[in-house]
Amino acid sequence: MMDLKKMEDGFRMILEGMGEDIHREGLLDTPKRVSKMYAELMTSLNADKNPADILKTRFHEKYDEMIVVPNIEFASMCEHHFLPFTGRAFVAYIPGDCVVGLSKIPRVVEYFARMPQIQERMTRQIAELIQNELNPRGVAVLLEASHMCMTMRGVKKPGATMVTTQLLGRFKTDEKTRAEFMTYIHREG
């Protein structure tokens, strides 16, 4: 469980460490606002819910073609510098014996975005959860994101993005299936 008071005190110490006057009018409530902001951005850390529960509502359908959910916007927090990274997720799966409601895939993306994260792990976590819970014939996840730790500090390259993929099942073993997925991405991108 998050400790808002501890986060507030910690941010107050950061401001003092920067040499700021924490009694200045503009900063009086900043530590409290920052702690509330982190509680909002990191909701998955407080989640009592198992992420597998997101995919529990299933529909048994005889559908064996690719299902693609493109352009799922997300915002996450890089665990290395605690700066945001934002982007889009493209998720596809080839059902085994069931499908899930359309909103469930974006909810999975959102769940893994709402914690300190690295893009590579987030990509893998999304794919593995769908694979483990739905047992589809294949899963493909592609994330493209811009990282503030690279655009506003360090190398300072605004506009640069990183792309990560995780391919499982037929997406990994069948070149035609992989190419079809990439066609949808290029169409949507």
Residue type, 66: M
pLDDT digits (tens, 9 = 90+) for 16-40: 999 999 999 999 999 999 999 999 9
Predicted confidence band at 188 (pLDDT cuts at 50, 70, 90)? low
pLDDT at 51 over 70: yes
Q: Is 81 annotated as a binding residue?
A: yes
The whole-number pLDDT of residue 54 equals: 95
Catalytic residue status for 98: no
Measured CA to CA, the distance from residue 75 to residue 34 in angstroms comes to 17
Average pLDDT of span 91-113: 97
The whole-number pLDDT of residue 94 equals: 98
Neighbours of 100 (CB within 10 A): 22
- Say what percent of the chain tops pLDDT 90: 87
Q: Is 78 annotated as a binding residue?
A: yes
Catalytic residue status for 149: yes
The whole-number pLDDT of residue 49 equals: 79
β-partners of residue 85 are 76, 147
Predicted confidence band at 189 (pLDDT cuts at 50, 70, 90)? low
Angle at 161 between CA 149 and CA 127, to 5 degrees: 100
Average pLDDT of span 146-173: 93
Average pLDDT of span 75-91: 96
Average pLDDT of span 131-144: 98
Catalytic residue status for 79: yes
Active-site hit among 8, 78, 125, 133: 78
DSSP 8-state class, residue 103: T
Distances (CA, A) of 48 to 32, 53, 122: 24, 11, 19
At residue 158, the 3 state secondary structure works out as coil
Q: Is 60 annotated as a binding residue?
A: no
Report the Cα 99 to chain-centroid distance in Å.
Answer: 21
